[in-house]
């Protein structure tokens, strides 16, 4: 994919954060309304499996379309085709951990799950910033580390909502 001359700016990151936040508010409210605590407790393995498949596919797209403009700057060449399955498995375990962590609090488990998923987004992006993702790829040079650390909260909440929504469709009670 030729992205020569394209720049991800701080303003783009802030706009993306706001757009994701709007989607998140709707999705989290919808999921929290329909996923009762008893059903959430039954979603352990669907969340884990769907998270693994979802993140495998996300990273497959990333290494196919964004390897040259972004990721080859921060990952060694030999890792390109290992990244999707390894991160798919890693995020499957992360989904299992998020599910478990959400159950440890008395408040709404759906909200907990999604918020903790958002925090995971910040952790992964701070790690990427540390690895040089904002300095090395020309596409990202000059973007604010603060914006690049806050936007993924909302991006990842969106992704975890999709995962939770698919797990809900898998586990929801069937009515005849």
DSSP 72: G
Structure tokens given for 93: 């375990």
pLDDT in tens, 40-97: 999 999 999 999 999 999 999 999 999 999 999 999 999 999 999 999 999 999 999 9
- Select from 106, 121, 105 the least CA-distant residue to 157: 121
Who's near 130: CB < 8 A, 6+ residues apart?
A: none
Rounded Cα–Cα distance for residues 133 and 148 (Å):
10
Rounded Cα–Cα distance for residues 137 and 132 (Å):
8
pLDDT in tens, 102-159: 999 989 999 999 999 999 999 999 999 999 999 999 999 999 999 999 999 999 999 9
CA 107 to each of CA 11, 32, 76: distance values in angstroms, whole numbers, following the listed order? 34, 11, 42
Parse the chain into domains and list their residue ranges. 10-171
Query: Confidence band (pLDDT; 50, 70, 90) for 160?
Result: very high
Q: In this predicted structure, what is the pLDDT of residue 106?
A: 87
Q: In this predicted structure, what is the pLDDT of residue 176?
A: 47
Mean pLDDT throughout 5-33?
A: 96
Q: In this predicted structure, what is the pLDDT of residue 4?
A: 74
């Amino acid at each position: 994919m030729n992205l020569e001359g394209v720049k991800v700016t701080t303003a783009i990151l802030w706009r993306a954060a706001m757009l994701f936040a709007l989607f998140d508010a709707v999705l989290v409210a919808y999921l929290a309304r329909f996923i009762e605590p008893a059903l959430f407790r039954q979603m352990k393995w669907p969340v884990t499996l769907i998270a693994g498949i979802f993140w495998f596919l996300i990273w497959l797209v990333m290494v196919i379309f964004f390897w040259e403009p972004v990721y080859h700057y921060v990952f060694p060449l030999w890792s390109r085709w290992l990244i999707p399955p390894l991160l798919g498995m890693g995020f499957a375990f992360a989904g299992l951990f998020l599910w478990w962590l959400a159950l440890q609090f008395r408040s709404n488990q759906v909200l907990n799950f999604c918020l903790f998923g958002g925090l995971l987004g910040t952790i992964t992006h701070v790690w990427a910033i540390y690895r040089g993702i904002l300095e090395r790829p020309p596409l990202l040079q000059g973007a604010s580390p603060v914006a690049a650390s806050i936007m993924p909260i909302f991006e990842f909440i969106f992704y975890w909502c999709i995962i939770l929504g698919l797990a809900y469709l898998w586990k929801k009670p069937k009515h005849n």
